[in-house]
Structure 1
Amino acid sequence: MTDPYNPARDGAQMSFDGRMSYTDYLGLDAVLDAQHPLSTAHDELLFIVQHQTSELWMQLALHELHAARDTLQAKDIRPAFKLLSRVSRIFEQLNSAWDVLRTMTPSDYTTFRDSLGQSSGFQSAQYREIEFLLGNRNVAMIRPHAHRPDLETRLRAELDKPSLYDCALARLAQAVPLPEAALARDLTKPHQPDETMQAAWAKVYRDPAQYWDLYELAEKLVDLEDYFRRWRFNHVTTVERVIGLKRGTGGTGGVSYLKRMLEVELFPDLWHLRTKL
C-alpha cells in the first residue's frame, strides 16, 4: 500500500504561520461571515448569497466600465474592446445566477420574505451606477440613496460625467462630421434615438474597413447591451415565477416595474440603424 500523496514533497507550501495564505489574501473571513439570515428558513441563505455575489460581479463590472470610458477618451480606443467584452461576460455570469435562484419556489420564499422588510434589489447603488454610466440616467433614481450621503454623492458625480455612449459618440464625431448640436445634450438625461447619430453610425457600418475601430466599438456595445437585456429578462422571469404579480418588497410594482425596464434602450442609435442598413 502506497503512502497518501503529500504535496509538500513536490514543493507545495504547507505552513502559513506569519505568512500570507489564500484566506488572508482574499479576506475570506470577512466575505464568508457576511451572511446573516434573519429567519430560520433554509432558503434565506441562497437568497443572500445570490444577491451578495451579484453585487461583487457588479463591482467588477464598474471597475471595467470606468476603465473602458477612460480608454475611449484616450488616443487608442482598442484596449476598451477587451474591457467591454469582459463586462459582457460578467453579465453572462450574472444571468446564470438566476438559474440557481429559480430553484426557490414561492412556498420557499414566503418562509422568509417578511424578514426583508423594505429592502429590495431596486435599491442597489452599484446597479444604479452601472445604468448611469451606460447612459440610462434618471435623477429621481438617486432618492433611494439619500440616507447614505456617500452613495448619493457618488451617483450625482456620475451624472456630471459623459456616459460610456457619450464617449463613443465623441469618437464617432472625430471620424464622421456631426453638427455641434448633435453632441450637445443634458448629461443627466437618458439617450434618445437620434436620426443624425444613426446616419453617422450607418456610414461606419457600410464601410467597416475604413472605420474598423468604430465598427468594432459599436458591436462591442451592442453585445454588452444584448447581455444586459438578457439579464433584465431573466430577472423578470425569475421574479414572476417566485412572487407572481405581487408588489416588490421595496414598494415597486414588482413584475410590472421590471417589464417596463425591458423597454429601456441604452444605445438606441445602434439598434435603430439596423432597420436602415
Structure 2
Amino acid sequence: MTAGNPYVDYARMDALHALPAPATESPFELQFILLSQVKELLFRMVHLEVDQARARLREDRPEAACRALSRAVRHQRTLIGCWESMNAMPVDEFLAFRDELGEASGTQSYMYRLLEFTLGNRGAAMVRHSDFTRFPQLRAELERPSLYDEVLRHLYRTGLPTPEHVVTRDVTVPYEPDKGVEDVWATVYRNPDKYRPAYDLAEQLLEVAYQFSRWRATHLLVVERMLGGKRGSGGTDGASWLRKINEHRFFAELWTMRSAL
C-alpha cells in the first residue's frame, strides 16, 4: 500500500495540479492558465478579509476591521504582482493560443465580481443572467449591505452626523455619492485625534481602494502591451473599456472630500 503524503493530502495539491488543461502545446498557455487560477484564489483571499471587516463593523469593532483590511491590502499587492508575471509574455507568445480563449474573459470571473459587489460597486449589468443562477452568492451579495454601507452605519452609531437617508437606504440599489457623507469624512480629517478610530478606518479603506485602482491600471498597461488596440476577449473593447473603468473609485467621498480640506 502506497503511503500518503500529508502535505499533498491535506491541501489536495495533486487535484490542484491536475486542474490546468491547456488546449495547445504552448507552455505559455499553461502559464496563462496558472496565473489566471492564482489570481482567482487571491480574489477569494481579499474577499475573505473584506467580508471579515464588514462583520467586525457590524459589531462596532473598527480596530478589528482595520486589521482585516490591512491583510486584504497585502493580498492585493500580491495580486498586482501577478501582472508582472503576465507582462513577461511577448505578444507573439500570447497570440499563439489566444484564439483558444474564445469568448472567455477575466471580466466573467464571479469571484472578482463578488469582491466588487462586497466593496460596494454593484454593476449587476456586468454579470450574465446565467451566472446569477450558477453562482447564487452573487445575488445574495446584492441583497445585503456592502462593506461601505456598514462603514456608514458604524459612523452613524458612533454619533458622527451621517445622513439618516444614507444609513436607511435600500441596499439593493447602487450607492450614489452623497455630499453629507463627504462632509462627515471632512470632519474626521479635520480633527483626526478626536475621531481616531474613524480616521484609521478611512485610511485603510482608502488603501484598499488605491490598491484596487492600481490593479486596474496595471491590467490596462499589460493589455495595451499584449493587444494594442484590439478588441478584448469576452466582447469588451479591450484597452478602451479598461481605460473607462479605470476612472471608478471605491468609497468616492473619501477621494472627493480632499478638495474641501
TM-score (ref. length: structure 1): 0.89
**Contact 2:108 2:127 survives alignment (8 Å):** no
Q: Is 2:68 the counterpart of 1:87?
A: no
Aligned to 1:43, what secondary structure does the other structure show? helix
Q: 1:227 deviation in Å?
A: 0.6
**Counterpart residue identity of residue 156, structure 2:** A
Tell me how far apart the structure 2 counterparts of residues 260 and 222 of structure 1 sit (CA, whole Å): 20
User: Counterpart of 2:25?
Assistant: 40
Which structure's residues are more often helix, by fraction?
2
Q: How does 1:1-16 map to 2 (within 5 A)?
A: none
Q: Is 2:154 the counterpart of 1:168?
A: no
| C-alpha RMSD over aligned residues | 1.6
Q: 1:131 deviation in Å?
A: 0.5
Which of 155, 159, 162 is residue 138 of structure 2 equivalent to? 155
**Contact 1:136 1:190 survives alignment (8 Å):** yes
**Contact 1:244 1:255 survives alignment (8 Å):** yes
User: Counterpart of 1:198?
Assistant: 182
Q: Is 2:50 the counterpart of 1:65?
A: yes
Tell me how far apart the structure 1 counterparts of residues 76 and 251 of structure 2 sit (CA, whole Å): 17
Tell me how far apart the structure 2 counterparts of residues 192 and 148 of structure 1 sit (CA, whole Å): 23
Tell me how far apart the structure 2 counterparts of residues 166 and 147 of structure 1 sit (CA, whole Å): 24
Tell me how far apart the structure 2 counterparts of residues 62 and 157 of structure 1 sit (CA, whole Å): 15
Tell me: CA distance 1:49–1:71, structure 2 relative to 1, closer, same or farther (3 Å): same
Tell me how far apart the structure 2 counterparts of residues 70 and 94 of structure 1 sit (CA, whole Å): 24
Q: 1:68 deviation in Å?
A: 1.0
Computing the radius of gyration over CA atoms, which structure comes out larger, 1 or 2? 1
- Which one is further off, 250-259 or 74-83? 74-83
User: Counterpart of 1:270?
Assistant: 254
Tell me: CA distance 1:148–1:115, structure 2 relative to 1, closer, same or farther (3 Å): farther
Q: 1:147 deviation in Å?
A: 5.1
**Counterpart residue identity of residue 265, structure 1:** R
Tell me how far apart the structure 2 counterparts of residues 180 and 169 of structure 1 sit (CA, whole Å): 10
Q: Is 2:15 the counterpart of 1:17?
A: no
**Contact 2:132 2:139 survives alignment (8 Å):** no
Structure 1 unmatched ranges of 5 or more:
1-15
User: Counterpart of 1:98?
Assistant: 83
Tell me how far apart the structure 2 counterparts of residues 223 and 113 of structure 1 sit (CA, whole Å): 34
**Contact 1:138 1:188 survives alignment (8 Å):** no
Give a deviation string over 1:13-42, Cα, whole Å, max 9, x none: xxx935x61111111001111111101122
Q: How does 1:89-128 map to 2 (within 5 A)?
A: 89-128=74-113
Tell me how far apart the structure 2 counterparts of residues 261 and 186 of structure 1 sit (CA, whole Å): 25
Which of 216, 227, 233 is residue 211 of structure 2 equivalent to? 227
Which of 227, 249, 256 is residue 233 of structure 2 equivalent to? 249
Aligned to 1:250, what secondary structure does the other structure show? helix
**Counterpart residue identity of residue 204, structure 1:** V
Aligned to 2:118, what secondary structure does the other structure show? helix
Tell me how far apart the structure 2 counterparts of residues 148 and 34 of structure 1 sit (CA, whole Å): 24
Q: 1:193 deviation in Å?
A: 2.6
Tell me how far apart the structure 2 counterparts of residues 210 and 266 of structure 1 sit (CA, whole Å): 25
**Contact 1:135 1:191 survives alignment (8 Å):** yes
